[in-house]
Structure 1
Amino acid sequence: MFECIAAVVNGKSQAFQLTRLTLDEPRPDEVVVEIVGVGVCHTDIVVRDQYYPTPLPAVLGHEGAGVVVKVGSAVTKVAPGDHVVLAYGSCGKCENCQKGDAGYCLEFFGYNFGGGRSDGSTPYHAEDDKRISGCFFCQSSFGTHALATERNVVKVDKDVPLEILGPLGCGISTGAGTVMNALRPIAGTSIAVFGAGSVGLAAIMAAKVVGCTTIIAVDLNYDRLKLAKELGATHAIDGRSGDVVGEIQKLTGGLGAHYSLECTSIPAVFRQAVDCLRLTGVCALVGAAALGTEVSLDMNNILFGRTVRGVIEGESVPDIFIPQLIALWKQGRFPFDKLITFYDLKEINQACADSVSGKVLKPVLRPAQVD
């Protein structure tokens, strides 16, 4: 057993509380990781507020990075001392996983939101014997230690600052991967990104990397739009300016954008992201809305060759894509660290509040200072 301190949310929309827990020894396919840095993602807040029904109390957190401290008897991918980024969970056995589409694993919800292992057990044990949900995204990394699986740990080079790498496990990979893996725009094309948060800005950086020549950021926050232009956007539009769709059409020769991304989870914005497309354009939906959220679209807009599609986890294979993003970072071509603001783990509630308010883009918690 491992003694650890974790941030536990006990009830819907309640504050996280640092709690001393005991973590299981790793099973044959499991890995124990000492967390160095963990990003706060929109999905963590969505689950805290129970828009997705992960059982509470729970340890959340799914953008962890750290050092392997112990591995199960069957693990060969990593060894104690290795630096790793923790990605999302998948079964590895269903048809989609076998095709390399693990983000669309047929067991995705259970592995990532179920609150325990596939057999229903949870690796955490509290002093009062209350059940604490764990295995969130096969990691639950809001704490000093996390229990992951061999399948969702990604070994990374030790010459990269480990504390910045956690967001590559979800948010940053989602934005960049939606462009690089799902949309795959050719050089010289146009793209509009609705929502200049961490996911949207990662998409903008990726669009620059692949050679898009018209990159349009849409947001309500002046500072985010300014940063978007620093990171590669060629144009910035204030979402309150009126006819956003019309402005995008003007910037694209009256035709509309080749591609768009919707990162806000707001139905009215999603509609704009579709309406701004040219004929045969593609809109990618990446914003995670509450279950049951609906949107209305003009059927004739879709009829004329436009495509609307959802994208999960940037359609990335983490073992391949995360090292690719790190290589781009080393070259100065993907400066995702500019999005990060650090907090101690004990400041998790402030970090969440600052994320929701838009004060910061990507909070990263550092558990090292927890007593």
Structure 2
Amino acid sequence: MTRTATAAVLREYGAPLRLETVTVPELRDDEVLVQIHGVGICHTDLTAATGGVPVPRPVVPGHEGAGVVTEQGSTIVVFDLGAVGTAAVMTARISLCENIIVVAPDPRRHGLARSLGATEVLSPDDHDDLGRHLRHLIGGGADYAVESVGAESVIRQALSSLTSPGVCATLGLRAGRNPVSIDQTHLLSGRTLTGVIEGDVDPHRFLPELAALWRDGHFPVDELVQTFDFTKLDDALAAVASGEIIRAVLTFDIRGNT
């Protein structure tokens, strides 16, 4: 019996996603069938939809799904989940960091940053030399900096905010190639610039810990999420693209659907 599902399909770069009925293929040995209950919209999805990240087309975007496995093949499958960039603030608080400083150009995010644990929130446009100001504010520089924009200027600011030695993690995705040049002096003074993918963690250990932190009220990701019915996909995409919300999650009427 042929099974079908409703999916948001991207057929051409820059074109609107369309809700279409698609055929669910037969399950391979190394696959599972998941009944999706919710899926987050990541900025990577927006970048891919405009061609910034090459993807085959037609394609059903999305990589932050959560649901229930309804069927499985004969081979064990490993699952992973997407992450929320703002979680760095909550993680720093949980890790008992003394100073948690957020640099955010959007004033709508400042109050949220403080409520999640930031001890100081700055606008990058308020300081000519942001790195120097941060070193002065902290008293020598930060031990760690998390750069989630991917812009060369922001990476340079993050590196210059560090103490020596210090570590800057960069994880912001830009459309297309993104060459970045930095002053080698940062590296010679013991500073490190490193890339991060999917949190650089073992999901078998980390995800249960993350769920426990959420359950105990230490990782309130609920405050970062606004839900949209799947039929309101265009509204959700617009809200994410405008920066109006932190994370949109599409929800589904799962009665009789996969």
TM category (shorter chain) comes to: over 0.9
Give the residue type in structure 1 aligned to 2:35. Answer: E
Residue by residue over 1:29-53, the C-alpha shift from the partner in whole angstroms, topping out at 9 and shown as x without a partner, is 2110111000000111111111111
Equivalents in 2 of 1:320, 1:170: separation in Å? 15
Give the residue type in structure 2 aligned to 1:202. Answer: A
Shift of 1:223: 2.1
Shift of 1:171: 2.0
Choose from 141, 145, 162 the match for 1:256.
141
Q: Is the 2:37–2:254 Cα contact (8 Å) retained in structure 1? A: no
Q: Is the 2:30–2:74 Cα contact (8 Å) retained in structure 1? A: yes
Q: Is the 1:248–1:256 Cα contact (8 Å) retained in structure 2? A: yes
**Structure 1 residues not aligned, in runs of 5+:** 76-149, 154-168, 173-198
Equivalents in 1 of 2:244, 2:168: separation in Å? 28
Choose from 78, 83, 91 the match for 1:171.
83
Q: Which residue of 2 aligns with 1:283?
A: 168
2:217 is the counterpart of 1:305: no
Aligned residue for 2:253, secondary structure, equals helix
Q: Which residue of 1 aligns with 2:219?
A: 334
Equivalents in 2 of 1:32, 1:280: separation in Å? 47
Aligned residue for 2:167, secondary structure, equals strand
Shift of 1:369: 7.4
Q: Which residue of 2 aligns with 1:272?
A: 157
Q: Which residue of 1 aligns with 2:67?
A: 66
Equivalents in 1 of 2:17, 2:254: separation in Å? 17
2:132 is the counterpart of 1:246: yes
Q: Which residue of 1 aligns with 2:16?
A: 15
Tell me the number of residue pairs that the alignment of Structure 1 and Structure 2 aligns: 254
Equivalents in 2 of 1:57, 1:349: separation in Å? 18
Q: Which residue of 2 aligns with 1:94?
A: none
Shift of 1:291: 3.1
Shift of 1:296: 2.1
Aligned residue for 1:59, secondary structure, equals coil
Residue by residue over 1:81-109, the C-alpha shift from the partner in whole angstroms, topping out at 9 and shown as x without a partner, is xxxxxxxxxxxxxxxxxxxxxxxxxxxxx
Equivalents in 2 of 1:56, 1:37: separation in Å? 23
Q: Which residue of 2 aligns with 1:126?
A: none
Aligned residue for 2:12, secondary structure, equals coil
Equivalents in 2 of 1:269, 1:353: separation in Å? 25
Shift of 1:250: 1.9
Shift of 1:231: 0.4
Shift of 1:302: 1.9
Give the residue type in structure 2 aligned to 1:171. Answer: A
Shift of 1:226: 1.2
Q: Which residue of 1 aligns with 2:79?
A: 152
Q: Note the aligned Cα RMSD (angstroms).
A: 1.6
In the superposition, the TM-score normalised over structure 1's length comes to 0.66
Which runs of 4 or more aligned residues in structure 1 lie more than 6 Å from their structure 2 counterparts after TM superposition?
none
In the superposition, the TM-score normalised over structure 2's length comes to 0.94
Equivalents in 1 of 2:109, 2:91: separation in Å? 17
Aligned residue for 1:58, secondary structure, equals coil
Equivalents in 2 of 1:10, 1:252: separation in Å? 49
Q: Is the 1:216–1:234 Cα contact (8 Å) retained in structure 2? A: yes
Shift of 1:56: 1.3
Equivalents in 1 of 2:141, 2:5: separation in Å? 52
Equivalents in 2 of 1:6, 1:43: separation in Å? 18
Choose from 229, 233, 238 the match for 1:348.
233
Q: Is the 1:260–1:283 Cα contact (8 Å) retained in structure 2? A: yes
Q: How much identity, in percent, do the aligned residues show?
A: 38
Shift of 1:301: 2.1
Aligned residue for 1:171, secondary structure, equals coil
Q: Which residue of 2 aligns with 1:205?
A: 90
Equivalents in 2 of 1:46, 1:4: separation in Å? 25
Q: Is the 1:344–1:369 Cα contact (8 Å) retained in structure 2? A: no
Q: Is the 1:271–1:295 Cα contact (8 Å) retained in structure 2? A: no
